[in-house]
A = this chain, B = another copy of it.
Amino acid sequence: MDNLASLRSVENVRLVDRFNTRQQIIGTLFLTSTHIIFIDPEGKRETWILHSFISSVDKLPITQQGCPLRIRTKHFFSAEFIITKERDCTDLHATLSQLKPDSYEKLYCFLYQAPNYLEKIWDPFLLATEYMRMGVPNHDWKVDDSNSSFDICDTYPPLIYVPTSTTKAMLLGSSKFRSRGRLPVLTYLHPNGASITRCSQPLAGFSARCVEDEQLLQCILKTNSQSNTMYIVDTRPRINAVANRAAGKGYENEGYYSNAQFKFCPIENIHIMRGSLQKVLEVCEMKNPSMNQYLNALDNSSWLQHIKAVLDAAIFIARAIDIEKKNVLVHCSDGWDRTAQCCSLSSLLLCPYYRSIHGFRMLIEKEWLSFGHKFSDRCGHLRTNDNKEQSPVFLQFIESVWQLSQIYPTAFEFNERFLISLHDHSHSCQYGNFIGNCEKDRLDLGVKERTYSYWNYILQNVNDFKNSLFRPQSSYASEVLLPIIYPQTLKFWLNMYHRFDSGLLPKENIPNTLTHLVDHTTALNDHARLLEKRIRELRLTLENGITTPTSNEDIHELQDNHNITSFIEHDSGLSENELNQTTIESIQPKSLQPLNSSSDIESGISSDYSPQNKHLTSSYILQHQSSSEINDIPTLERIALELNSIALDWRSYNTPFHCTCSLPFDSAQRKYNCWRCGENFCIRCIEHGIRLPGLYSNSLVPVCKTCLRSIKLSPVFVDGSMPNKSNYRNQTDIKLPTSVFDQKQI
């Protein structure tokens, strides 16, 4: 980046989009220390490309308009910038080609200054907590600290979980017999007692054996009394496993592991996967292919076939655990790529917890970070990384989760945006989480002291990452998922690979529309609750001729009045009259399936905005009314404010193409409705975390800046909004260019 100073901006650059060839936009290209920025003076386009994302920069043959420079990124952006002067293009090319850091210390995460709402706080992830959640240690499984100084295996966590019956000698012996010392350790324990253990391939060659390793596997087998055998799932095609024997590696000799059933899964190695992704990218860049050429090229890439292989292996493991109740030991070669994919996906299928945002984080922390997936090597964070070590292993996992979420739209708490963000930040180096190749690397680099945590960023923006169709109460969200993957069910992930080609995408983003509708329903429901309460109060007051009850005595008098009954019963769903007239039978469906508090959650309303109130029973109402409702009949002005504070109609999601701040909306961006005026705003123009007087619940909800000012100026408005740092970002803080990346830019 040394010659950066000499070249800070290039004017009259034409940006040519992959799928909008007619739309050439002329603007200026700026080079900052972290981004390439293209700005069109008319404000039609503002494109930010983080240096860490750049995967290739190519000079293309000169055209009449100038010298085209093609930039491709790791998150599937590809564009040509046509530069008038060839000299500028050559300089730019040279500069950009040298951008990738040559040491960890120069990575973006060590420079990144987050907006104020993010702090350098690392919510501690303790592997032990996750194992405790699974009930470990217990009678069968113990924790072992032999690796506390990374002596046994430097790519494993300090604490490992092994059968209680194992000895130190077994662990040591087994670790010496396994590639990279990665001995079999517990990674998932199912409620039925069956477990997933993971390791690397044995150094068996054609004949070597290791008694300690065999003993360790016997110990694992015996932790589960339900079966006399266990599976050893080798996630490689059999031919690969056999070929490895020539190098003194290979797989377990069936003769020495008599109680094991062997299963090979045809997941290809990192080199084939890298080649496959390369072919996918070529498919994406095809110019005017015929249907035939497209399907052929997609087929030839084998990408979906590889995804299916990963999913099929994971489903095999999940079936073995849940249906056959057998222990499963999973390995590939080194046990940090295919093994990580299969163990994490089968855990996701087996355990609903991992389908929540928090649980999914735990899954990543455990299977990918603790057990040493080589993020820096696979993503190519450094210039010094071997290109042949790069491979889309994590992307395949992310895509497999997405494919499952397409089959089970209600089973996952997180949305597509979350998965895309997770993939992108494994490459961005903006947060310290995915830096290095194992826990030891990150400890040595001190990432927890020196960088921001990705999970903190997610937590602060959690509403953007929630799936509005999620229903924790539904069977798919609460049970083991054992799908059959038909080729017909796998889709090419347009929103991942073509996300920047808006010309090719549908003209409406359905998940965003769903979120919009769910939020609107929540707002109306909450408002109607308050209105119903106010009507009850007002009618009671009117009925009793009391204009302003001020003491508790008044309230008790009110309660004694028999007329209350007809009002309070509405919440039970049936009036006295009806109860007398309808038969028990006709009410039954209602009593068998009561509308209770869970219905909010079931309808997908699980955002922080949702009212937390239970569906009130008559008796609860009475209690509740005495304590708060009647006690607090609001003034005339307050009621005016309440009615005034909630928009009944919301502007539809896709109507406005610009925010009032003139920022153009595109399909990748989330728009926010102001709950007070109902208009759409961009993330910069919406304020989070206000308590609106027109809501029954005390929820913090989003409003636009104008409405916020208006409502705060009202003399009767009591500002109950304590900006809750841990739940809501303070928007005014994040107008810095760097933060824009978080939300939208490339």
Contacts and interface: CB of A to CB of B under 8 A. Distances in A.
Nearest to A531: B531
A706 B586 contact: yes
A714 interface: yes
A486 B290 CA distance: 8
A410 interface: yes
Nearest to A297: B487
Interface in A286-303: 289-296, 298-299, 302
Interface string A111-143: 000000000000000000000000000000000
A408 interface: yes
Interface string A581-606: 11000111110010100011011100
A547 interface: yes
A503 B489 CA distance: 10
Contact of A487 (B290, B503, B595, B660): B290
Interface stretch (A172-180, A357-365, A508-516): A508-516
Interface in A475-496: 476, 484, 486-492, 494
A542 interface: yes
Contacts of A294: 487-488
A583 to B, nearest CB: 9
Nearest to A599: B649
Contact of A488 (B504, B508, B573): B504
A627 to B, nearest CB: 20
A206 interface: no
Contacts of A539: 538, 636, 639
A507 interface: yes
Interface of A is mostly: helix
A304 interface: yes
Contacts of A574: 644, 710
A96 B513 CA distance: 47
Interface in A505-537: 506-508, 510, 513-514, 517-518, 520-521, 524-525, 527-529, 531-532, 534-536
Contact of A513 (B292, B305, B469): B469
Interface stretch (A145-153, A246-254, A423-431, A651-659): A651-659
A713 interface: yes
Interface residues of A, number: 118
A270 interface: no
A541 B489 CA distance: 62
Interface stretch (A41-49, A443-451, A563-571): A563-571
Nearest to A538: B538
B648 A529 contact: yes
B407 A567 contact: no
B506 A406 contact: yes
A469 to B, nearest CB: 6
Contacts of A589: 660, 679, 706
A715 B577 contact: yes
A492 B488 contact: yes
Given A291-B487, A547-B542, A578-B714, A521 B528 contact: no
A473 interface: yes
Contacts of A647: 573, 595
Nearest to A704: B589
A51 interface: no
A86 interface: no
A471 interface: yes
A590 B676 CA distance: 11
Contact of A639 (B488, B529, B535, B713): B535
A515 to B, nearest CB: 10
Interface string A456-472: 00000000000001010
A678 B595 contact: yes
A414 to B, nearest CB: 16
Nearest to A714: B577
A675 B566 CA distance: 21
20 contacts: A291-B302, A409-B506, A469-B510, A474-B654, A510-B514, A513-B514, A514-B517, A524-B528, A525-B649, A538-B538, A541-B542, A563-B636, A566-B637, A570-B640, A574-B710, A575-B710, A586-B706, A586-B709, A599-B678, A603-B651
Instruction: Across the A-B interface, give the 5 residue pairs with the lowest CB-CB distance, nearest first.
Output: A294-B487, A524-B524, A531-B531, A291-B305, A589-B660
Given A525-B649, A574-B710, A589-B679, 14 more contacts: A292-B302, A294-B487, A409-B506, A514-B517, A517-B518, A539-B636, A567-B643, A578-B713, A578-B714, A581-B713, A582-B706, A586-B706, A589-B660, A603-B651
Interface of A: 19, 289-296, 298-299, 302, 304-305, 308, 406-411, 469, 471, 473-474, 476, 484, 486-492, 494, 498, 503-504, 506-508, 510, 513-514, 517-518, 520-521, 524-525, 527-529, 531-532, 534-536, 538-539, 541-543, 545, 547, 563, 566-567, 569-570, 573-575, 577-578, 581-582, 586-590, 593, 595, 599-600, 602-604, 615, 636-637, 639-641, 643-644, 646-656, 660, 677-679, 706, 709-710, 713-715
